[in-house]
Amino acid sequence: MAESHFIPLPHRALIAVEGEERRTFLQGLVSNDVAKAGAGHALYGAFLTPQGKFLHEFFLGEQDDVLLLETETARRDDFAKRLSLYKLRSKVAIRADDHLQAYAIIGPDAAPRLGLPAEAGGARPFAGGLVFVDPRLAEAGLRAWLPTGAEAALRDAGVSPGETDLWDRHRIALGLPDGSRDLVPDKAILLENGFDELHGVDWQKGCYLGQELTARTKYRGLVRKRLVPVEIDGPAPEPGTTIRLGETEAGEMRSHASGGGVGLAMIRLEILEQVAAGNGTLDAEGVRLTPRKPAWATF
């Protein structure tokens, strides 16, 4: 079997939502169908402003009748506070949960090594925590939430430690955003960042915060730009750097791998079409960028 690696993700942390009304509480707030989450299936979703702009993204799983949301460590308190604003008289408790740590696991044999089918969202208990196939895209690998000391169980399964840059290069090549590194809070729109194709929105569920704008964006064809991987020919431009096609503003840089060479960028669709047709090259402060459309994307 090919080598697989586990990568600790200290920039990610968990929120626990417990209580008998935990599902109905979350269902009215987030973009995916909470009823589909359970010990055997994980979800990806987002929490939006009432105007449909991005605030927080998360992975959602369940352990021992507690719903767990993996989000950004630096912004976890803000997410928990915003959820609490809607608690009212709901029979739920919301708290930070630090007894489990987040990991990414990548490699072509990662799923079978840990007893999972290569099916997006498939989940199972593992070493006192939970392991699941990335619900966005099976090719992304696995996610694991494990207690202290459980890395030994990963090693026993034949999975070796890996560096953060390895994970970043993997998810960037696939065109996968990583929280507010790629999605600008109070500004980003889900469908510009692949949430439709990446199973982050359920179109059949009931109302939730921001649903009206999200649905309008889809059904009226209002997506005008998309997040895409770019190859970087030179020093990686900082996030927010303006990208140009000649004198025309084409988009903005988002995150990049620490070793350089690859990153993500938000680029106007009409510009992507021009570049694909060979009509010019993209430039960010003198650095040439070559965009690559992800295989899963439908634009």
Q: Full-prediction pTM beyond 0.85?
A: yes
- Domain residues of the chain, as ranges? 4-173, 224-293
Are the beta carbons of 119 and 138 closer than 8 angstroms?
yes
Extract the residue ranges of the chain whose pLDDT is less than 50: 1
In what side-by-side order are the strands of the sheet with 93-97? 43-48, 54-63, 66-72, 12-18, 93-97
- Superfamily of structural domain 4-173: Probable tRNA modification gtpase trme; domain 1 (3.30.1360.120)
Closest CA to 267 of 299, 238, 296: 299
Protein fold of 224-293: Elongation Factor Tu (Ef-tu); domain 3 (2.40.30)
Helix residue ranges per DSSP H, 202-249: 211-219
Are the beta carbons of 236 and 260 closer than 8 angstroms?
yes
Looking at residue 2, what is its pLDDT? 67
Q: What is the DSSP letter of 107?
A: S
pLDDT tens profile 101-150: 999 999 999 999 999 998 999 999 999 999 999 999 999 999 999 999 99
Looking at residue 281, what is its pLDDT? 97
Contacts of 141 (CB under 8 A, 6+ apart): 104, 105, 106, 107, 110, 133, 134, 170
